Amino acid sequence: MNAYPETLLPNARSQLADAADYAVIDLGIPIDEFFSLFAASDWARRIERGDRSTILGISGIELARNILAEKTGEREFKTARESLRRTKAYWTGWVLAYYQWKSNRMFKEILRALPASTVEQMYSVYHEAPEERFASTADEILREKLPETRLRRIRSAYGCSQSRLSEMSGVGLRSIQMYEQRRKSINRAEAESVLRLARALGCEIEDIMEP
């Protein structure tokens, strides 16, 4: 299931591409540093859930500035050059936005296994290929590096301990441990328990169910 309606995808791709290009090329911020700030920001959460006011309401330049203002307190920024070049940084933002939409994973999770600098290095091989080819490779990398359950991935990405999740959701700690250890299938759990876990983590039920 994709992260949000496909009609928003072109805007999301251009927006994150422009933001990365501006931050890296114009402001001289290392690409991993910028994407780390982005993934930790509320702006990433808004894009992940397909917030129309964010995806359609601001430019990529504004997105980059908002991220930096939120995470660093900076308020004065260099003026963007007149024409954004199709740089490796631009492509990195473009393809990561596509993969997040395609996979419905959080940016934190994606970048933990596949840093932006690694994606940038894949430019020469993938920039002229369909995005689906990059997505297939990214899936393989994430499966290898993140062999954990969806529940564990989402819980970890939000910095929530098993004990805290148990308190927030009302689901027993032992049950959570067994779901994450694959000793008990979350797909066979009571619907109410799965709903409580999803609500506590701010996600959909489908996000923590196993394929």
Q: Kindly tell me if the per-residue pLDDT of 83 is higher than 70.
A: no
b/e per residue, 150-175, with b = 16+ CB within 10 A?
A: bbbbbbbbbebebeebbeebebeeeb
Query: Which domains, and CATH codes, for the chain?
Result: 6-145 (no CATH), 150-208 (1.10.260.40)
Which residues 6+ apart lie within 8 Å of 81 measured at CB? 25, 26
Of 109, 88, 108, 107, the closest CA to residue 24 belongs to 88
User: pLDDT tens, 183-203?
Assistant: 788 988 999 999 999 999 999
Of 191, 195, 165, 190, the closest CA to residue 177 belongs to 165
Residue 82 pLDDT: 73
Amino acid at 27: L
Whole-number average pLDDT of the chain: 92
Residue 106 pLDDT: 84
Chain centroid offset of residue 104 CA: 8
Residue 74 pLDDT: 84
**Is the whole model's pTM more than 0.85, yes or no?**
no
Cβ(184)–Cβ(210) under 8 Å?
no
Q: Kindly tell me if the per-residue pLDDT of 58 is higher than 90.
A: yes
Amino acid at 17: A
User: pLDDT tens, 86-140?
Assistant: 899 999 999 999 999 998 888 988 998 999 999 999 999 999 999 999 999 998 9
Alpha-carbon distance 100 to 115, whole Å? 13
Q: Which of 44-53, 74-83, 114-123, 156-165 has the lowest mean pLDDT?
A: 74-83
Residue 2 pLDDT: 80
Alpha-carbon distance 37 to 201, whole Å? 21
